[in-house]
Structure 1
Amino acid sequence: MLRFTASLSFLWLLMATSTMAQTWPAVLDADGQPLRSGVEYYVLPAATDTAGGLTLVNLNNGSICPLFVGQEPLAAVVSSGTTVIFTPRVTDTVIRETRDFTVAFTGFTICAQSTAWMVGEKNPETGRRYILAEMSPTPSSNAWHFNIVKNDQGLYNFQWCPNCLTGVCPKPLCGDAGIVVENERRLLVLDAMMRLISVLNLVCLLMATSCMAQGPPVLDTDGNPVTRGVEYYVNPAVTDVAGGLTLVTRNGSCPSYVGQVPIGPGIVRGLPVVFNPINPGDSIITENTQFTAAFSAASTCVRDTAWGIGEEDTETTRRLIVIGGGEPAIFGISRNQAPGPYTFGYCPPCNTPPPCGRPRCGIAGILEQNGTRFLTIDGPAFPFSFTRA
């Protein structure tokens, strides 16, 4: 049984800078400032007793991929979801009412796919069009072009109704975005050909990540937040396969690769790791924190033990994680992307938006070669836990 819960009305509380007036009014934040292109925002519901912020979810049908746009489940501490970035279809610095834009989640996913929102094909069983993240936006397709309109209550609604830029366009099957509960997942869908039972006004709390509280803290095995500058052993959640993270060799090289201590008798906890958030004001590692990681140990190979992205394995095309490789890589940690507490992810930030081009993001997993277990990007995901040294 499926339960309809809402057509989405959004009040955008967006922290950004002002811009000059144009033909179409800018979508405004809580301070009356325009929503800016290329800035990261969270999307939270006004009714916080129903669900959390928008994020990527699966269909809970036994498969992990592809991922769909949905809401975080209701919890004691409501999750803010995953940040999004908006990019106008026509060159502009702000997002304007009724004008097209593309929208994408930031960060990484366990699935090898884009995080840009797109309208999927109509489900023949339900008659609904789900909003999913599957491919990179294609200029010739309107499936990625969303817009925002203001309703009679002064709130903003997501809708899909692409603008005609050529003067001769087929009429699109427009639709407002709504929420449907399916297999215990709250999914964002278009309401074309649907009769929604009730209206649920949502406040889309979209704030620049540098100006707001972070997401849930990453917890160590004692239940305490993982903290900047503190040493932790990074242990596998599945303890019968190998030990903690350490430095390993490859093809007779100096031990400058991140890998796992082989399973065996005695202590297999590896080397302690220190995490340092990119934001100087952050002291706690959260599920939204971008950070660098480094072993708290000396190496005979290189002076710098910070983790970086190394060469690509020619057979598997997976990228190895190394130390002393130059500029430290920026990582993140997420939950529920593997059968265990936490997984590492890599997704280089866009420092010059827009445009940046699509980065090659990935989830960290384990690659075993000739009896050595290497930590690599481009999974499948491998679960880890953190124990204070």
Structure 2
Amino acid sequence: MISVLVFTLFSVIHLIVSARSHSVPISVAPVHYYNHHLSAQAQAHFHPIPSLSDTPLPSWTLKAVPTTVYRPITLDNFQDPLWNPIELLGPDVEDSHTLSQLARISGNAYALPGQKNWYDIDDAWNVGFPIGWEDPTVGFRGHVFLSSDNNTAILSIKGTTLQGPTSKKDKFNDNLLFSCCCARVDFSWAFSTVCDCFSGHWTCDNTCLSKALIEDSLFYSVGLNLVSNLTLMYPDANIWLVGHSLGGALASLLGTTFGFPAVAFESPGERLAAQRLHLPIPPLSNVSGLPIAPVTHVYHNADPIPQGTCTGFGSPCASGGYALETRCHLGKSIIYDTVGKLGWHVSVKTHPIKEVILHVLERDQEWEEGREVPLAVEEVDCTVRTQCDPNLPALTDSA
């Protein structure tokens, strides 16, 4: 029944002209056809493995809505591609249950099935297939989930782990992507930055930094290869990308590159990283003048990390060796007012995905008048050039 409904919807989607279309339920079950291995050279390989025929495969229901994304006609001309508007089914980000399920899927990127931090999904989910867990030296980890009719594939990407085999590479990617210049917070960091692009006098060699991002940002490079493989495996499927923190930012960057819907939870601002990576940027909105990126950021205002305020000497982030200085996001943002509504204090303790799932997304709360989910809006008042630590001179780019 669901397959017929989805097929019918795709047949008539170009005729839909209403302001908001009805949600379509999608029954999603875990992938159990392929095992994925990532080598140190960031190549993705898939092998068939035995089906778990004697194991009941639970499912859950997400809601999807007709969505228009802009997709490069080809990535051969990576710097300046031509764009096609594509109509597909994207996640219904106005549905609270769908958001909570996507957050739980994002949380599961941190764990393997059966571990204590694995989140049940509706029907006591206990089966999943991992990506990148075979080789801890790679660092990029997550899971792929597939709808029972093969029409929707969800890639969940792991964020930063503070202690564990991927922690060092997680921190490297964080500092390379979200710092103003090679994680140079103050002079005490002069010998521990992630790249050598500081030009003196609070300037950053942007050409140097762009090369460093391309050459050294292993997670983004691995993600490019992985998503390319997914498109080859499931050429007719809708691919959604989700993640928390660093994982959400990677989901956003990859979703923007390929034109796939992405939902990111509590992620640092990735708009500056997109510019420095020279990503193919979708056409600009006639209203806001911002790129029409297929990304929805979900965060609350007691978390300083997505707001770019966990900065400066002595901040918890800097003390831990992280320079998370950026704040501007691609796409639209759903911001929960946990400070005003719940009286929370701004603290990095509110950043973990567990806090977001249990105490924000699944809280019985009206966050805006008549809305269980705040309205998604573009961050039109955010300027990437002035998002460095306000306590320090603003870093500028040099050619």
* TM-score over 0.5 (shorter chain): no
| TM-score, length basis structure 2 | 0.24
Which structure has the larger Rg over C-alpha atoms?
Answer: 1
Structure with greater proportional helix content: 2
TM-score (norm 1): 0.24
